[in-house]
Amino acid sequence: MPALKVRGALGLMSGTSLDGVDVAYLATDGERILAFGPTGYRPFTEAERAVLRAALDEAEILADRNARPGVLAEAEAIVTAANAEAVEAWREANRSWMPLDGGAFAAPPVDVVGFHGQTVLHRPEVRLTVQIGDGQALARRLNVPVVYDFRAADVGAGGQGAPFVPVFHRAMAGVLHRPQPLAVLNIGGVANVTVLDGEADPIACDVGPGNALIDDFVAGRTGAAMDTGGELAAAGKVDEDAVRRLLGMRFFTLPPPKSLDRNAFKAAAKVHGGLDRASVEDGAATLTAFTAAAVARIVPHLKRPPKCWIIAGGGARNPTLMRMLAERLAPARVEVAERVGWLGDHLEAQAFAFLAVRALDGLPLSYPSTTGVPEPMTGGVVVRP
C-alpha cells in the first residue's frame, strides 16, 4: 500500500446543542495525527438559534433528504454562512501562526475542510438522515476543497449513520496511557460513546439524550440557553420514579450499534418526566439524572465494563452531571477530556478534520461495530471550488 499523504485539515462541527460552530485544525495522513493546531468558535446568535430550533420542528415531516421546505432553506443558509464566517475568523486570528512549540513540525496549509453541517433529522430506521449546509457554496467561498454529507452513505447502506468519531478516538487513544476497556463519551445534544478494548474494532453508539432535554427544558422555563454550571440541577431534587419510567423505553434494551434523533426523548420526557408539575430546579435535576443514568445503561451491553471514562463535549462543563456520572459509573475512573490533554470542546471538530482526510483517500469512516453498516465504509461528498 502506498504511503498516505499528510494533509492539513480544518474540521467544522455544529452539534445538536445548537450553541455554535467549533473549528479545529490538525495535520494527519488519515491514520496518524502528526500535529494539532489552533481552534476557533463562532457562536450562533439567539435569532439564528431560534431559526434552527424551528427547522428541527419542521424537519420532523421530511421524507426527502434533499428537500428544504419553509424555514429549512433559511436555516441552511444560516448554517453555511456561520461555518464560512467561523473559518474566515480562524484564518484572520491565525495569520501569523507557524510551527508548534519546538518547531519539529510546521503545519501545512489547509488542504481540506471537513464540514459536518447541522443535523435536523436522523431516522436511520427508514434510511433517512438530514444534515443541512451547502458544501459547494462553502468550498467556493473559502476557495478550498470541502468534504460534507458524511453520514448519508452509511445510512443508505443500512447503517445507523452515527456515531462517526470512533476511528478518530482510536487514533487519539493510541498514545494515551489509560487502562482499557476505555470509553470516550461525548455529551452534546445527544450523548455518544466509543469503547476501545485492545485490538478489537471500536464499539460505538448513541446512549441517550445528552444536553438536549436539559437545554430545552431550561430554555422553555427561563429563556436561558442551558443550565449553566449545572446550578439549577444542583439545587433541585431528583424524581427517581420519573427516571425509572424514562429508562423503561425500548431504546435502552437494544445493544449497540444504535443511534438517536435529537428529539427522540422529547415526547416521553413530557409524558413520563412529570415536568409540568416540577419546579425548574427539580425538573433540571431529574433530567440531569436521567441523562447520567442513560449513559450507565450501556454498560450491561458491553463484553467488559470500561475501566476509565473520558468525558468531552458541553456536558463535561456541567459539574452536577459529572458528579452523577461518577456515581452511576463507579468504580470506573471518570475524568474530563482536558485532564488527559485533549480539547474536549473541539474534539468533534478535530474528528471531522480527520475524517475529511480519510474520505479523500477512500479510507473507512464507519464499521459494523460502530454503526451496524454491513462492511467498513468510506463516505462524504467531496466538492472543489
The answer to whether 16 is annotated as binding is yes
Establish whether 17 is an annotated binding residue.
yes
3-state SS, residue 68: coil
364 bridge partner residues: none
DSSP state of 201: P
Q: What is the dihedral of CA 248, 250, 253, 258, to 10 degrees?
A: -130
User: Which phi and psi (to 5°) does residue 307 adopt?
Assistant: -90, -20
The answer to whether 188 and 14 are in contact (CB under 8 A) is: no
C-alpha cell recorded at residue 159:
447503517
Question: Is 18 one of the annotated binding-site residues?
Answer: yes
Phi-psi region of 127 (alpha: psi -120 to 50; beta: other; left: phi over 0): left
Is 21 labelled a binding residue? yes
3-state secondary structure of 40: strand
Which residue is listed with cell 433528504? 65
Q: What residue has cell string 440531569?
A: 288
Q: How many CB atoms lie within 10 A of CB 167?
A: 24
Please check if 341 is assigned to a binding site.
no
22 is in an annotated binding site: yes
Output the CA torsion 216→323→254→151 (10° steps).
60
Strands of 203-208's sheet in order across: 203-208, 191-196, 182-187, 308-312, 333-336
Question: Using omega within 30 degrees of 0 as the cis cutoff, is the peptide bond preceding 163 cis?
Answer: yes
Confirm whether residue 344 is marked as ligand binding.
no
**C-alpha distance from residue 271 to each of 34, 144, 275, 345 (Å):** 49, 48, 8, 32
Q: How far is CA 347 from the centre of its chain?
A: 9
- The alpha carbon dihedral of 314, 110, 28, 374 has a sign of positive
Q: Using DSSP, how many helices (H) and how many strands (E) does the chain show?
A: 13, 13
For residue 15, say whether it is annotated as part of any ligand binding site: yes
Beta strands 381-383; 146-148: pairing state: antiparallel
Instruction: Identify the helix (H) or strand (E) that includes residue 33.
Output: strand 33-43
Q: What angle do CA 99, 23, 173 make, to 5 degrees?
A: 75
CB 268 within 8 A of CB 212: no
Could you list the residues known to form a binding site for ATP, using ranges: 15-22
Could you list the residues known to form a binding site, using ranges: 15-22
